[in-house]
Structure 1
């Protein structure tokens, strides 16, 4: 079968690999669509310390159940499904307190084990979620990025009337924007350096957008009468921006951090303590797939609005090259693996 395999940093290709069989407790999925994520690009560049090569990447995907392994009783062959990539042990401290997304023995499909950029993939039955009637496989492949948004917003504990500021209008910033609107947050500002992305944010319901070269702190003071902004989501993931976020945040504000950048940030403790700020990290998702699927099925999220390119599987190396050299041209690139992209 065909698979997109990363053999080493910057060494990748569509390759022929042996097709898997449904293992005990697992489900064999025939992949229809898979999305390219920024974390896939980090793996390709060798910037992910968790990966062991060679690796078949891909953690945003949907398809149909081809076979089920021994002991699997709750999944039917032929079912249309999407896959939560978080595989946890169920025994460690985070798992015991309901935080399996930071399991001490965490595995992520497409990172620690082979993922969805292949024609068939084995996944734990517990990670399979049925797609509601009327929700297509393309949308199913995009549930995972919305689960990231749902997770960080829950970690930030929004309250009625809170303003939200989102740094970054890439895919994750846009999913946070859509999810925040679905949660009833009405005043949302988005910051980015690329005007095309800001235009998309406005189309998807941002109250206002600020260009990153503006005096963002002055704009925040004017907007809030000097009070500051209660909710700040860092989807830009640039460590150097943290001091500005601390200054912009209102007293009792909450800042959600998503980046895996190892570069140290300057954290002024005075800003955190005098305002009693809450800084929360957010990794992957904590059982958010049902919530996202429910909102998608109800029409409160528009996943296909994120898609800028639909490409065939054989075109994936070209998609990687585009994302490397012209990221401003793309939002979500969706790869048709076992389904027609219409490309």
Structure 2
């Protein structure tokens, strides 16, 4: 038998036992993936878990291989790695990443998955979704030589974006987060991490990923005159207060949105989503990304893990990327 994780109702998830799938012998491009690990994308998946996907964007927020419809029941997720164990002989045994939900097995086409490079293990490869998002954010408004860049929020997306940006010839890169443990982790990776009140106030570009109105407010405060804030947070059905009074108009600030569902406009004519994801997998050759993996659990624990991440408890505060491991043959 095989297993699929479903969100059955608000804050209630469960595994469903299903027949083990097999490839169609007449479909040359089909592969079966035996999952080795998946990861929880804390921001989006906790909104799904709580039933907080607004009706007007349900079509836009569908995961590529989602089963069911929002709000419930729905089988959701988009960070999965595994091994090809059925399909064309030249694919058997390959390690692959796919934008696939939390299932023990998947039937996909060769176009649905990407081979994981040598030197990137299965757990680190699960960060490909976050790194792909970071690449898209940086493509949205590419920092220029000697720019001053601030990133507010050091969750999985913010920290991944910061590690990518650290390779650029910036004059200054600051990562802003309220959590001192998270700041210490970033400092150990060679990044400048500061509390909100310590942030420089003349940034050319501010990237906001915290998902909180307070972070957005601080982001506008530290954006320099004529500067731009890139809003990469998604709030689901919440409506944060955006402080457009005070000096927003006087200092001629700009807010632009970044969302990974489409390649950023500046690159859309020249890059496919597949090429963007391949770039993310190559970027994961950087060993520093291992620090973003903050927990691992067995697959049976996933319903409780997602519910804890949707709360305001310690696990939610400490988690960047939480890995779910699946049983292996033997």
TM-score by length of 1: 0.76
1:58 matched to 2:77? The reply is yes
Long gaps (5+) in structure 2: 59-69, 264-272
Matches within 5 A, 1:232-251: 232-251=206-225
**Residue 328 of structure 1: how far off its partner (Å):** 1.9
Structure 2: how far apart are the matches of 1:183 and 1:63?
Answer: 32
1:312 matched to 2:298? The reply is yes
Structure 2: how far apart are the matches of 1:233 and 1:127?
Answer: 30
Q: Select which of 42, 48, 53 maps to 2:53.
A: 48
Aligned to 1:96: none
Aligned CA-pair RMSD: 2.7
The 3-state SS of whatever aligns with 1:12 is strand
Aligned to 1:95: none
Structure 1: how far apart are the matches of 2:152 and 2:89?
Answer: 41
Q: Which moves more between the two structures, 269-278 or 48-57?
A: 269-278
Structure 1 contact 60–145 (Cα < 8 Å) conserved: no
Aligned to 2:62: none
CA shift in 2, pair 1:276/1:19, >3 Å: farther
Q: Select which of 30, 33, 57 maps to 2:34.
A: 30
The 3-state SS of whatever aligns with 1:292 is helix
**Residue 242 of structure 1: how far off its partner (Å):** 3.3
Structure 2 contact 183–193 (Cα < 8 Å) conserved: no
Structure 2: how far apart are the matches of 1:46 and 1:75?
Answer: 42
Aligned to 1:110: none
**Residue 263 of structure 1: how far off its partner (Å):** 0.4
Structure 1: how far apart are the matches of 2:249 and 2:328?
Answer: 53
Q: Select which of 147, 159, 163 maps to 2:132.
A: 147
**Residue 241 of structure 1: how far off its partner (Å):** 4.0
**Residue 128 of structure 1: how far off its partner (Å):** 1.3
Structure 1: how far apart are the matches of 2:240 and 2:319?
Answer: 29
Matches within 5 A, 1:135-284: 135-185=120-170, 187-210=172-195, 212=196, 214=197, 219-221=199-201, 228-261=202-235, 262-268=238-244, 271=247, 275-284=251-260
Q: What is the number of residues matched between the two proteins?
A: 293
Q: Which moves more between the two structures, 320-329 or 306-315?
A: 320-329
The 3-state SS of whatever aligns with 1:245 is helix
Structure 2: how far apart are the matches of 1:280 and 1:53?
Answer: 31
TM-score by length of 2: 0.79
CA shift in 2, pair 1:136/1:208, >3 Å: closer
CA shift in 2, pair 1:55/1:259, >3 Å: same
CA shift in 2, pair 1:28/1:6, >3 Å: same
Structure 2 contact 151–206 (Cα < 8 Å) conserved: yes
Structure 1: how far apart are the matches of 2:19 and 2:253?
Answer: 51
Deviations 1:223-246 (A, max 9, x none): xxxxx1012111112235434423
Following TM superposition, the consecutive aligned residue runs of length 4 or more in structure 1 with deviations greater than 4 angstroms are 23-26, 269-276
Long gaps (5+) in structure 1: 86-114, 222-227
Q: Which moves more between the two structures, 161-170 or 271-280?
A: 271-280
**Residue 20 of structure 1: how far off its partner (Å):** 3.6
Q: Which moves more between the two structures, 172-181 or 185-194?
A: 185-194
Structure 2: how far apart are the matches of 1:75 and 1:176?
Answer: 34
Structure 2: how far apart are the matches of 1:67 and 1:159?
Answer: 46
Aligned to 1:302: 288
Deviations 1:238-283 (A, max 9, x none): 2354344233212342321122224054352785555554422111
**Residue 315 of structure 1: how far off its partner (Å):** 2.0
Structure 1: how far apart are the matches of 2:229 and 2:106?
Answer: 36
The 3-state SS of whatever aligns with 2:200 is helix
Structure 2: how far apart are the matches of 1:160 and 1:11?
Answer: 48
